[in-house]
Amino acid sequence: MTVPTDLADTVEAHGKAVAAGDNRAVLGDFLPDRIGQLIASADVPVKLKAAAVRTITDVGDDRYDAVIRYTKPDAEWFELRSRWVRFDDGTWRVFSVRNIPDTPPWMDLTGPSPDGLDAPHWDGLRAGELLIQRCAGCGEWVWSPRPICPRCHSFDMHWEIVEPKGTIYSWTRTWQPFTKESTGHLPYIVVLVALPGAGGRRVLGVLADADGVTPTIGATVRGEIQQPPDTEHWPLVRWHLEGQPK
Amino acid sequence: MNGFRGATAVVGVGTTDYYKRGTSPLTSAQLVLQAILRACDDAGADPRAVDGFVSYGGDSSEGLAIGTALGVNEIRWSTEVWGGGGGGVAAAVNVAAAAVYSGQATCVAVYRGLSEGTDGRRAFAKGHLGHLYSAHGLLAPAQVCALRTQRMLEVDHVPASALEAVALAGYHHAQTNPRAVAYGSPLDHERYHGSRLISEPLRLFDCSRENDGAAAILVVSADRAGDYRGTPAFILAGVQGAAAGWSESTENEEHYSSAGFHPALTQRLWDGARISPSDVGVAQVYENFTGPAVAAMIDHGLCPAGPAAGEFMTVDNLTVGGGTLPINTAGGNIAEGFVHGIGLVVESVRQIRGGTPNPVTGADISLLIGGPMAPLVSSTVFGSPATV
């Protein structure tokens, strides 16, 4: 497997341009139809000391993945993986880019909703449990939470611990930076998980360790409660594939 | 059968330009007022005689404020459709027709205006997605519709080519519509597939635009349609709502990969209009995203479900000049411009009334399908004078 010489040179120069903060040169390496998406995909500190191309890999279809390690002034480092394609004008351009390893985003719009209906769910996560609403009158599982039971109209709604295990009902891999918090985590996969322990009710969550993974509807997933990075955020269930090889 | 069929008609349409989002020189209210004044001009109606105002999707221009700014003689009806975003667009038409049919108002303007300068970015999507979505990185309608579309493709086996056909059909029609944002920017298979992914399986060209602009129509009693200029588009039937287990369920909707137009609802639509799906000559299918538009056509029985959808959903079959069911004949939300789908209402009427860039010959039945996969969905059937 050989890497085109002009690609190796372009990637080398690109790494140096990123490290030097030469934005004009960096943007010139991007595919022009997705500059905004690419800028907001990778989390890159303002000041960098050095760049080193680690690998360039042929991923087929005339595309190549380059891993570049960037060193911060304090000698800490991080890596970006960019995918390169040949553009109409013959130059190599960045098709997509991401921070590696992949980590799930922490969104600012989190925690109990303004109406408070879902507050026990969030409190449950802090206590290390997945809680889903259930009617004490007829046993109906209710999600998302409601003020009364839609089935029997009981006002006696309570919350039960549910095993965070289920199957993927659907999924989407998001590439577009819809908010600043997603920068550094794109692309990420959100799965809709059907919970057999809650009458098949479905919950949303990020699929962890999903870099390069294309999930399959029906695959088994197991949830783990991940603690937030700070006190502003709430714990979240992150899902892990069990029934599907990488 | 009911007396609602053909009892009301649209006698005027008005639009502003489609501006790139954030560039409108007018405020939202001014855009709405310009659209209503142009609709009145189209109808030959006195703007002061407009006595009803209906919008949807959280329009920042309340009916009372708009009526007052127009200096109308009297405001008799002012209503906004609750929830569902663009799912309420046809419902707004239906509400106006109900008001006129019941004698609550005589001339109702249905309108929608958006200006990023007034309303902020993605105003049409505000408040849709609560914390049980956003905490997990789901912030945009595109992502929710992507989840539902993915299941339609992967489980129902609707081919992805059906999505592409919706996008290409809209772009095709926009090339003969100088008002369209995508005028002069044709889309082919290669450009579509080369476009960036937004949220899989949706690409850039599967997504509607965001524009500043406004449009309005005037609904009056059919008895009085002759008092106005031009050919009236009669309102034959309208439906709206949500099935049991559909709405506001944080992705727990039943019939999850449908667009939400449940069988009882579509049957009411056809029964009310006294037609069957095969009578539809032209359709404006709300494409917030292409996947939901395909699901909406399947729900309405316009297109077969499952793998067979791919045979029906082709650019040739969906475009004017040979297609059995031309859709989005001015370009739609994807290629003409997006002001929460109100442009589709105007184009539905123009297919009957005249003024469309791509007239469908002999189309007496013009269908409007509102925002699919929304918590509220709605449809309206318009008919030519020959149908009443």
- What part of A 13-42 touches B (C-beta under 8 Å)? 33-34, 37
**Phi, psi values for residue A194, rounded to 5°:** -85, 125
Written as six digits, the tokens of B5 are 């069929």
Which amino acid appears at position B322 of this protein? G
Q: Which of B131, B143, B246, B247 to mutate to test the interface with A (most CBs of A within 10 A)?
A: B131
Contact B365, B325 (CB under 8 A): no
Check residue B1 and give its pLDDT.
Answer: 43
- Residue in chain B lying closest to A195 (CA): B252
The full DSSP string for A52-96 is EEEEEEEEETTEEEEEEEEE-TTS-EEEEEEEEEE-TTS-EEEEE
Where chain B has pLDDT below 70, the residues are: 1-2, 127
Nearest CB to B251 within list A37, A202, A216:
A202
pLDDT digits (tens, 9 = 90+) for A166-216: 999 999 999 999 999 999 999 999 999 999 999 999 999 999 999 999 999
Check residue B275 and give its pLDDT.
Answer: 98
Report chain A residues whose CB lies below 8 A from the CB of B139.
107, 109, 178-179
Check residue A163 and give its pLDDT.
Answer: 98
pLDDT digits (tens, 9 = 90+) for A101-148: 999 999 999 999 999 999 999 999 999 999 999 999 999 999 999 999
Report chain A residues whose CB lies below 8 A from the CB of B131.
109-113, 118
What average pLDDT does range A85-104 have in this prediction?
Answer: 97
Report chain B residues whose CB lies below 8 A from the CB of A179.
139
- Residue in chain A lying closest to B129 (CA): A109
Tell if the CB–CB gap between A110 and B135 is shorter than 8 Å: yes
Quickly state the pLDDT bin for A245 (edges 50, 70, 90).
Answer: low
C-alpha A51/C-alpha B165 separation (Å) is: 44
Per-residue buried b or exposed e for A13-50, using 16+ beta carbons within 10 Å of the residue's own CB: ebbbbbbeeeeeebeebbbeebeebbbbbbebeeebee
Nearest CB to A204 within list B133, B148, B199:
B133
CA torsion sign for A124, A130, A135, A139 is negative
ipTM of the complex: 0.96
CA quadruple B340, B341, B346, B347: dihedral, nearest 10: 150
Q: Does A107 contact B at CB distance below 8 Å?
A: yes
Tell if the CB–CB gap between A37 and B137 is shorter than 8 Å: no
C-alpha B214/C-alpha B272 separation (Å) is: 30
CA-based nearest distance B111→chain A, Å = 28
CB neighbour list of residue A116: distance below 8 Å, 6 or more residues apart:
none
CA-based nearest distance A35→chain B, Å = 10
- Residue in chain B lying closest to A171 (CA): B147
E strands along A45-197, which residues?
50-60, 63-71, 77-86, 92-100, 131-135, 141-142, 157-161, 165-174, 188-195
B146 C-beta neighbours (distance < 10 Å), count: 28
CA quadruple B185, B186, B190, B195: dihedral, nearest 10: 40
Written as six digits, the tokens of B303 are 């297109």
Contact B252, B151 (CB under 8 A): no
Q: Does A167 contact B at CB distance below 8 Å?
A: no
Report chain A residues whose CB lies below 8 A from the CB of B141.
none
C-alpha B343/C-alpha B320 separation (Å) is: 18
Nearest CB to A143 within list B133, B137, B250:
B250
Contact B240, B376 (CB under 8 A): yes
Q: Which of B180, B89, B144 is nearest to B257 (CA)?
A: B144
Check residue A240 and give its pLDDT.
Answer: 98
Check residue A2 and give its pLDDT.
Answer: 86
Structural domains of chain A, with CATH: 5-100 (3.10.450.50), 119-241 (2.40.50.840)
Tell if the CB–CB gap between B134 and A182 is shorter than 8 Å: no
A166 C-beta neighbours (distance < 10 Å), count: 24
**Chains A & B: contacts with CB separation below 8 Å:** 116
Q: Does A201 contact B at CB distance below 8 Å?
A: yes
Check residue B2 and give its pLDDT.
Answer: 64
Tell if the CB–CB gap between B135 and A109 is shorter than 8 Å: yes
Is the pLDDT at A232 greater than 60? The verdict is yes
Report chain B residues whose CB lies below 8 A from the CB of A190.
136-138, 143, 147
The answer for A217, left when phi > 0, alpha when psi is -120 to 50, beta otherwise, is beta
* Angstrom distances, CA of residue A192 to CA of A15, A110, A168, A220: 37, 18, 6, 12
* Angstrom distances, CA of residue B114 to CA of B18, B90, B212: 10, 17, 5
Structural domains of chain B, with CATH: 8-122+207-387 (3.40.47.10)
